[in-house]
Amino acid sequence: MKELNKITGIKVYQVELTMKEGHYSWSNQSFRSFDSTIIEIETSKGIKGYGEVCPLGPAYLPAYAEGARTGIAKIAGVLIGKDPENINEINSIMDNTLKGHPYVKSALDIACWDILGKATNQPIFALLGGMLQKKIKLFKVISRDVPEIMQQKVIDYQEQGFTQFQMKVGAEPSVDIRRIRSVAENLRTGNVLGADANCGWRQHDAIRVVKAVSDLDIYIEQPCPTYEECSVVRHRSNLPFILDECMIDLQSVLKAWNDQSVDVINLKIGRLGGLSKAKLIRDVCVSLGISLTIEDTWGSQIVDAAIAHLAHSTPREFHFQSSAFHEYTQVVTAVGQPTIDNGYMFCSKAPGLGIRPNFDVLGDPLSIFS
């Protein structure tokens, strides 16, 4: 009988991800850096796996950086001695140990996939369904700013080769209408623009905005905090709709599909609890004909590797776009990260995630569990 691989230790690191452009702004929030948690799982066979979770500040979702580390501390001891390659069992143990809090479990789940890939000498995309698209279409975020600056950014980003854009809105409606129009008017023919409110509008404000920009060829993303509000706005608009923050599990996805309230779902790995549950929802969406933005809340090179593997294993016709966060941050937490070229991302074909942590940046672990 094959000897089982066992988790012998878990280390937790903390890194502050500072922004290249000075700040990142959306809806009513703005940050100069994000607090990211990176974990290392050590095993009895000498294989090490890595994962990362980085909530977008403490008031974006029911998730925050210190909470991720506190939750990991609750779970880590229970995982010692378990087989990291038996990922379904690992997820069952995590769910039975800590109810809810999926973001806490995401980095641990990703690290187990990294171990499984290394143990079987396969890149994670091969384990998630195979290489179904050779290059991953990226969108470029246009951080919320005055309309004139956002207008110049879309011009500059198009010169860099990007063709898909997610502009941040969700503030005062009359200014957001100006923002959307000024960016859309500078969009090259064939390029794609989404206006992402990140839950920032009230229902009546969202209806006002979508009515004012109804003549434009754009997408509207997550206008309001709740699914019910977003559904009302969707049925008052002729524009294609992306749902993000309110898509928290498979049940919410199925409800939105049944209500005809969504055209594209923004699938964030950390919000769902890791690659395992993200893959499940990805596969269901593909079977239902729903296209996907595949990304995460935020992160560095390690999160980007997880995003790239999931996107590579998604059928091209159902992949709407993805993000690469390491192009926005000044910090290099790992090497071997996905490469970016002319608006596309390509991940390593090395086993597992394909990354190697940069311990000069990670420093000493905050916590060690064994």
Secondary structure (DSSP) of 137-204: EBEEEE----HHHHHHHHHHHHHTT--EEEEE--S-HHHHHHHHHHHHTTPPTT-EEEEE-TT-S-HH
Look up 168 and say whether it is catalytic.
Answer: yes
Q: In this predicted structure, what is the pLDDT of residue 92?
A: 98
pTM: predicted TM-score of the whole model, two decimal places = 0.95
- Which one is catalytic: 168, 211, 277, 349? 168
Strands 344-346 and 136-137, bridge-based pairing: antiparallel
pLDDT tens column, 207-242: 999 999 999 999 999 999 999 999 999 999 999 999
Q: In this predicted structure, what is the pLDDT of residue 108?
A: 98
Beta carbons within 8 Å of 129's beta carbon, 6+ residues apart: 279, 283, 313, 314
Q: Is the pLDDT of residue 83 over 70?
A: yes
pLDDT tens column, 114-140: 999 999 999 999 999 999 999 999 999
Q: In this predicted structure, what is the pLDDT of residue 1?
A: 58
- In 3D space, the residue among 290, 288, 287, 289 whose CA is nearest the CA of residue 267 turns out to be 290
146: left (phi over 0), alpha (psi -120 to 50) or beta: beta
Dist CA 295 CA 326 (whole Å): 12
CB 69 within 8 A of CB 101: no
- Which one is catalytic: 48, 140, 268, 279? 268
pLDDT tens column, 145-176: 999 999 999 999 999 889 999 999 999 999 99
Strand partners, 346: 339
CB 233 within 8 A of CB 206: yes
Averaged pLDDT score across all residues of the chain: 95
